[in-house]
A = this chain, B = another copy of it.
Amino acid sequence: MKPEASGDVMTIREMCEAYDVTPRTLRFYEAKALLAPIRIGTRRLFTRRDRARLTLILRGKRFGFSLDDIRETLDLYDRDGSDAAQRDRACELARKRLAEMEAQRAELDQAIAELKEALAHAADEGQAPQRAA
């Protein structure tokens, strides 16, 4: 009898299937302090928090951030009641990240526009080259 999701935690297998990653990857992320699953003896149980973080990790990777960058950014989300100085530095870093991401968004928009234009030109050359010659 398996409760299938006893108390909102997931085994490593369930995680792998849910997020399409390998066990090795999850262990690697834990070793890098990106995830912190509950340890029952040696085994791992991944919580809601781990899943939220994994989502952000995979997203960050697609944006070209390194795992170290991602960890720093991740830690911004759950550092609630630390001391004020540390929180200030966190906010500082968050604003920096935000600026980076918005710059990246601008570049991405430009890249999309350029690619669209290139496609349009390709369509021109594909449709009307017989008309002139």
Report Cα–Cα, A97/B115, bound state, in Å: 9
- What is the interface of chain A mostly: helix, strand, loop, or mixed? helix
B108:A94 contact, CB within 8 angstroms: no
Q: Do the beta carbons of B76 and A118 come within 8 Å of each other?
A: yes
Given the known interface contacts A59-B107, A108-B108, the answer about A115 and B91 at a Cβ–Cβ threshold of 8 Å is: no
Q: Are B94 and A122 in contact (CB under 8 A)?
A: yes
Interface residue tally on A, bucketed by range? 35 or more
| Interface-facing stretch out of A22-30, A34-42, A80-88 | A80-88
Kindly list the 8 A-B residue pairs having the minimum CB-CB distance in the complex, ordered from nearest.
Answer: A64-B64, A105-B108, A101-B112, A94-B119, A98-B115, A62-B64, A77-B118, A91-B122
